[in-house]
Amino acid sequence: MARHYLALVSHYSALIPVIILLLRLRHLPREWRYFAWFLIIGLTNDFLSQYWIRNFHSNMVNSNIYIIIEYFLLLRLFYEWGERRNSSRYLFLAALGIAVWIFDNFIWHRIGDNTSLFRVVASAVLALLSIDRMNREAIYERGSVFTNSRFLVCFMFMVYYVFKSFIESFNLYQLNIGLDFYRRLWVILNCINIVASCMYSYALICLRPKTSLILN
Amino acid sequence: MPTPENQLNFELIIGACILLFFITFFMVSIISHQRKKAALDFNRLKADLLLLEKERSRIAFDLHDALGPALSVCKQKMEARGVKDLSADIDGLMLQLRTISQNMLPRTLEREGLCEAVEELAEQSGLRYKFKPVRNLVLPLDTSLHLYRLLQEILHNTAKHAAATQLELSIIKKGNRLQITAADNGKGFDRTLVTGTAEGLGLRNIVSRADMIGATVELETAPGEGTRYKINCPV
């Protein structure tokens, strides 16, 4: 029962950063709008998942669609943070994502199945992009990293997606380790999700609008 | 059918591989960014030093070409009016002006080369000196200017802090490398104690200058044992 409540709290914890986002919407820099969509769509997917589980006993269809939307939103977010450089790298990652998603959801499995290949690839790509961006922020940006919104978000992405790729790789190999082991892993993921929501909220609070150049 | 123990081992291996992969990427990424940052800082420093030299050169020209003749005219007018006691002061001012201008833009370096300019520096230091120059040394102006500034900083440190009476300078060319040695018989110092002080900053400037031209600087010193700098520069 406690696990169930933890999962519920984890799902709805995204409400906190979304509320802060709505309160700070006017101060949101342009490149952060993809992060805003990521939070809003993530929360919507959590509500949808509850509805699908209650009515159809599975949330796989909406989750499989959500995961590719999330992948593209975050790719775009990293592209914007990188000042739109290396567009060929991001195009390649986007094409790779589409190819793997189609293969995983239509050729290897069905869209209503628990598919893991795309999740492993997407999580690994997002974790690597997060690590790179986090290092970049730590080395090039002046000021404390503890109030640097990009650093905070990337740090949390890194933790979340490294762990996600870890879990999904176990799913991918269909190892017969036992339900209890997987349950423990999902409990940890739920905890990380709650911490991530708190970190995103803090990052949104730390976010400062760019000062526009004023010439008198 | 694999046993649960084998399954667990397989699982652990997968987990370890994933973690190792991300840790490796983390290290590679951080080293790569550090290197890029170092290159960026190096170029920024190079640009700053270039700007500094340009500014020095402009001020030296202004002092020499505008203020110098003006003082000279002033001196002539005073002599014509019979004010001779101020004329000596103006001579002193003109000498100071020449020295400042010379420090800012070493004309000897431009006209005659590094060895002559270094000898002039040694003369100005007021110490007894021995100098072994290399013959027919031709260097690009920016390299010789950096080397000159390096030696200027070293001799300035010697004159100001070393309490030395004697100075030995040598410039030797070995193949495509130039070896410059500057040694004094002063009081020397403990290298670990000067970090963060004004002298430490001077030493850092010397190393930064050397980096600009791909040179290395070796410093041999200890309290009571004098100081020896060895500069090894590619030419």
Give the ranges where B63-197 is alpha helix by DSSP (H).
Answer: 68-80, 84-104, 107-111, 114-125, 141-157
Task: Show which of residues 130-169 on chain B sit within 8 Å of chain A, judged by CB atoms.
Answer: none
**Which CB contacts under 8 angstroms, 24+ apart, belong to A95-98?**
A96/A121, A96/A125, A97/A68, A97/A71, A97/A72, A97/A121, A97/A122, A97/A125, A98/A68
pLDDT given at position B50:
84
pLDDT given at position B69:
84
pLDDT given at position A211:
59
B36: pLDDT strictly greater than 90: yes
Residue B14 with chain A: CB contacts under 8 Å: 169-170, 173
Q: Which pLDDT band, with edges at 50, 70 and 90, does B108 fall under? A: confident
Q: What is the mean pLDDT of residues A145-160?
A: 94
Contact A170 B14 (CB under 8 A): yes
The residue ranking higher by pLDDT, A76 or B67, is A76
Q: Which pLDDT band, with edges at 50, 70 and 90, does A126 fall under? A: very high
pLDDT given at position A1:
66
pLDDT given at position A81:
92
* Residue to test with chain A: of B11, B23, B34, B44, most A Cβ within 10 A: B11
Tokens of B127: 């110490």
Contact between B118 and B131 (Cβ < 8 Å): yes
Q: What is the mean pLDDT of residues A21-37?
A: 90
Question: Quick one: B182 exposed, middle or buried, by C-beta within 10 A (0-12, 13-18, 19+)?
Answer: buried
Q: Is B14 on the interface with A (CB under 8 A)?
A: yes
Q: Which residues of A make CB contacts under 8 Å with B?
A: 127-128, 131-132, 135-136, 138-140, 162, 165-166, 169-170, 173, 175-177
Looking at every residue in chain A, the average pLDDT score rounds to 89
Least confident of A23-37, A53-67, A139-153, B5-19: B5-19
Tokens of B5: 């123990």
The partner residues of B181 in beta bridges, in order of sequence, read: B170, B230
Contact A165 B18 (CB under 8 A): yes
Residue A170 with chain B: CB contacts under 8 Å: 11, 14
Contact B33 A173 (CB under 8 A): no
The residue ranking higher by pLDDT, B87 or B210, is B210
Please count the residue pairs, one from chain A and one from chain B, whose beta carbons lie less than 8 angstroms apart.
Answer: 44
State how far residue B23 is from chain A, nearest Cα, in angstroms. 10
pLDDT, tens digit (0-9, with 9 covering 90-100), for B117-173: 888 888 888 888 999 888 888 888 888 888 998 898 898 888 888 888 889 999 999
Contacts of B15 (CB under 8 A, 6+ apart): A166, A169
**Of the candidates B10, B27, B30, B26, the residue with the CA atom closest to the CA atom of residue A159:** B26
> What angle (nearest 5°) sits at the alpha carbon of residue B101, between those of residues B98 and B103?
110
Tokens of B96: 């100071």
Q: ipTM of this predicted complex? A: 0.82
CB-CB: which of B4, B8, B18 is closest to A169?
B18
| Nearest residue in B to A176, CA atom | B7
Residue A166 with chain B: CB contacts under 8 Å: 15, 18-19
Contact A175 B10 (CB under 8 A): yes
State how far residue A65 is from chain B, nearest Cα, in angstroms. 25
Contact B33 A135 (CB under 8 A): yes
pLDDT, tens digit (0-9, with 9 covering 90-100), for B44-70: 888 888 888 888 888 888 887 888 888
pLDDT given at position A213:
59
pLDDT exceeding 90 applies to what percent of chain B? Answer: 19
Burial B117-148 (b: 16+ CB within 10 A, else e): bbbbbbeebebebeeeeeeeeebeeebbbbbb
pLDDT given at position A78:
95
Total Cβ atoms within 10 A of residue B192: 7
B6: pLDDT strictly greater than 80: no
pLDDT given at position A104:
92
State how far residue B5 is from chain A, nearest Cα, in angstroms. 9
Q: Which pLDDT band, with edges at 50, 70 and 90, does A158 fall under? A: very high
